[in-house]
Amino acid sequence: MRKAIAKSVTSTVKDLHKSGLVDVITMKNIEKLCIPEVQEYTPEKIVFIRNKFRLSQAALASIFNISPSTVQKWEQGNKKPTGASKKLLDIIERKGIEAFI
């Protein structure tokens, strides 16, 4: 529901910008407010994402610029991705590995 509302608001603001009724700064601020919330990633979800894109733990770690042991700890549930790593997982899940190439 939130995602649909954010998409609708963003689309409307872009149309208003094209019409000259909203300036670039306002449009960018609205877009930032409508960025989807980043979810928590379970060990199973991380394995699913990695397997979906046929990545080894080492390959995923390389994309994130972290150690393979960190990915292993995520998948074992000994550690949770936070901050930038959580956002990168979100980007891969939504846009695919192509977003990093």
The per-residue pLDDT for 37 is 75
The per-residue pLDDT for 99 is 86
| pTM: predicted TM-score of the whole model, two decimal places | 0.67
Residue among 73, 13, 23 at smallest CA distance from 46? 73
The per-residue pLDDT for 81 is 96
- Separation between Cα atoms, residue 19 and residue 31, nearest integer Å: 17
pLDDT tens-place string over residues 28-69: 888 888 776 788 999 999 999 999 999 999 999 999 999 999
The per-residue pLDDT for 75 is 98
Cβ contacts of 53 within 8 Å, gap of 6 or more: 92, 96, 97
CA 38 from chain center: how many Å? Answer: 6
pLDDT tens-place string over residues 9-34: 888 888 899 999 989 999 888 888 87
Per-residue CA distances from 10 to 27, 33, 71 (Å): 8, 9, 34
Residue among 87, 68, 90 at smallest CA distance from 79? 68
Residue among 93, 97, 98 at smallest CA distance from 81? 93
pLDDT tens-place string over residues 87-97: 999 999 988 98
The per-residue pLDDT for 1 is 67
